[in-house]
Amino acid sequence: MPTPYTSTKVESVQRTVDVAIVEDNKRYVNELSLLLSNSPNIKINGCYTSGSEAVEQIRKKKPDVVLIDIGLPDISGVEVIKQISNNGCSTEFLVLTVYDDDKHLFEALQAGAVGYIVKGTTSPEEIEAAIFDVIDGGAPMSRDIAKRVIETFRVNSSSQPKTKFDDLTKRELQILEYISHGYNTRKVAEELYISYETVRTHLKNIYQKLHVHTLVEAILLFKSR
């Protein structure tokens, strides 16, 4: 049976992944952290019920992946993502929320989230798979969300000249080439003898130059040129 989200996953993760959860529903936090803790490859790095606490602790502990809700009691999940991503932290953010509207979706992606999953449509096992997908360089999204992202990409790209690739540097094109052939972010860093953080910086520059928000959009646009 197909999973309710789509991604760009290219290989499985073998190492232990530190995961933090940012969610104001304490019961949901407890249930999710307990279920994820059963995985031998996942270690719960921290659980936070407010955005301000999450920003402080994530900056200190630097988990690999953060599962984050958007609706928090103080600052929004989007603001949490912005504050941490703009600080140069290598933590990846996977949104797990009830919001499935375009406003919240694209605000989260523009802030730096690499994936977006809607609660109620994804099982704990699929959330676990999405976490490893993120580490592999993928962009897991609920199926309906992915369709809307791709449709937005198609509309935007139809009005954009293909010459936008002229703005990319040789290194940026090289990175896109590797990723389009199935390499994840960490593998690209190994192949090019540069750091993982450097590859991420290049990808953020690529998104800005191509006017896209996600890795999925960048790859689709690169392949369609």
CB-based contacts of 2, cutoff 8 Å, min separation 6: none
Q: If we measure between CA atoms, which residue out of 194, 190, 218 comes closest to residue 204?
A: 218
Q: Under DSSP, is residue 40 helix (H, G, I), strand (E, B) or coil?
A: coil
Residue 84 tokens read as 């941490």
**Most confidently predicted of 53-57, 140-144, 206-210:** 53-57
Strands 17-22 and 65-68, bridge-based pairing: parallel
Q: Specify the residue for token string 């993928």.
A: 138
Pick the CATH number of 5-147 from 3.90.190.20, 3.40.50.360, 3.10.129.10, 3.40.50.2300: 3.40.50.2300
**Whether pLDDT at 122 is above 70:** yes
Mean pLDDT across 2-6 = 49
Average pLDDT over residues 74-79: 94
Domain extent listing, the chain: 5-147, 158-224
- Top-ranked range on mean pLDDT: pick from 44-53, 141-150, 187-196, 199-208: 44-53
Sorting pLDDT into bands at 50, 70 and 90, what band is 12? very low
**CATH architecture of structural domain 158-224:** Orthogonal Bundle (1.10)
